[in-house]
Amino acid sequence: MVVSAVAPSLAILSYLYLRDRYEAEPLRLVAIVFAMGMISTLPVAFIKWEALSLSMNRYQYTFFVGALLEEAAKYGITYWFAVRNREFNEEYDGILYAVSASLGFATVENILKVMHFGLGAAEIRALLSVPGHALFGVIMGSYFGLAKFQPKVYKRRIQFSQALILPWILHGIYDVILLKGSYLWMLLLIPFMLWLLWSALGKVKQAQTHSPFKSI
């Protein structure tokens, strides 16, 4: 049961790690960021529980509390443990480390859901939730990569802000669609996820193109 909950995250992370073609990151640092993503589920869950007392409807809570807290946790972990590290030396590193933090978070979330709802939940989450976390991570990481090597201070600040704001908005939209739960709303999820995938693949390709190690 645990294997089925963990496997999707490891498969996606392995794929993105192997896509780091020109200057592979140390597995130790990738593992640390992944582990910190796992650990972050505890304070996030606690704050979300405390925030239930706020005067919000379930859509406001999902968007302004759930999605924001989760993306903020991944943002903080990626920035503190990876962006500031000397191993972060090309744009693609932002994608790899942000996805590592995101999938660490998703793994614990997956384990808890599967333990509570059974193996059926693993199949649904393998198709939606885990890829969703990874895609939000790609968006976040791409802006971290741009900001890290941006010489202009004002542009760097904008890109660091985008690294949080854009994944939060996309995550919030995704969660609200799931919360709506109707057939029509679920149909909207298909083009939304396909657009996210298209956008993420484009950012991966762009980051690879900008690698300073490409010609080595």
Look up residue 17 and give its two tokens: 């790690």
Q: Which of 107, 103, 109, 179 is nearest to 135 (CA)?
A: 103
Residue 29 lies in a domain: yes
Q: Do the Cβ atoms of 129 and 193 come closer than 8 Å? A: no
Q: Which of 82, 91, 102, 101 is nearest to 204 (CA)?
A: 91
Q: How far is CA 3 from the centre of its chain?
A: 21
Q: With cut-offs at 50, 70 and 90, classify the pLDDT of residue 123.
A: low
Cα–Cα distance, 102 to 37 (Å, whole number): 6
**Parent domain of 150:** 2-206
The count of structural domains within the chain is 1
Q: Do the Cβ atoms of 154 and 89 come closer than 8 Å? A: no
Q: What is the mean pLDDT of the chain?
A: 91
Residue 214 lies in a domain: no
* Res 119: pLDDT: 61
* Res 75: pLDDT: 98
Helix pair 27-39, 68-78: axis angle to 10 deg? 150
> 66-70, 113-117, 149-153: which range is least confident on average?
113-117
Residue 89 lies in a domain: yes
Q: What's the pLDDT tens digit per position in 48-101?
A: 999 999 889 999 999 999 999 999 999 999 999 999 999 999 999 999 999 999
Residue 216 lies in a domain: no
* Res 38: pLDDT: 97
Q: How many CB atoms lie within 10 A of CB 41?
A: 19
Residue 68 lies in a domain: yes
Biggest distance spanned by C-alpha atoms of the chain: 56
Mean pLDDT across the stretch 183-191? 85
